[in-house]
Amino acid sequence: MARLSSIVSLLAVAALLVADAYAYRTIVTTVEVEEENQGRCQHIRAREQLRICESFLRNQGNQWMGPSDLKQCCGELRNVEEQCRCDALHEIARATEAKQGSHRLQIAQVLPSLCQIRPQMCHF
């Protein structure tokens, strides 16, 4: 009976060690993927490449903003690599947010959807 208890205890400890090692590996993999994406988008100069989009966000709600402004912004956004679009939008939204309020962030989050491009929604 004591021998059976020892074997069960050893198996439980082994299972915990395997689970712990698996969790560590998952965390390391996630960090590596995030770092890889950050490096991929460092060349994006959002304020230069998305000038019309930045203006669109700044002037959102003004009477003179029309469909052509959105269309031009969408054209700029299409020229940014898909995996970098949300980072670029976040950068210009933060710049406009400081001056005009947090609802600019919300508009920037759905801008890809308005342009019918991927990703449909940005989460920041």
Q: Find the CATH number of the domain harbouring 50.
A: 1.10.110
Is residue 33 a part of any domain in this protein? no
Give the pair of three-digit tokens for residue 41: 């988008």
Res 22: pLDDT: 52
Match 């299409």 to its residue by tokens. 78
Is residue 22 a part of any domain in this protein? no
Terminal C-alpha separation, the chain: 57
Res 40: pLDDT: 75
Instruction: Quick: pLDDT tens for 75-96.
Output: 999 999 999 999 999 999 998 8
CB 79 within 8 A of CB 43: no
Q: What is the pTM of this model?
A: 0.64
Is residue 41 a part of any domain in this protein? no
Check whether 104 has a pLDDT greater than 70.
yes
Q: How many CA atoms lie within 13 A of 109 on its CB side?
A: 9
Query: Region 27-53: what's the mean pLDDT?
Result: 69
- Domain, as residue range, for 98: 46-115
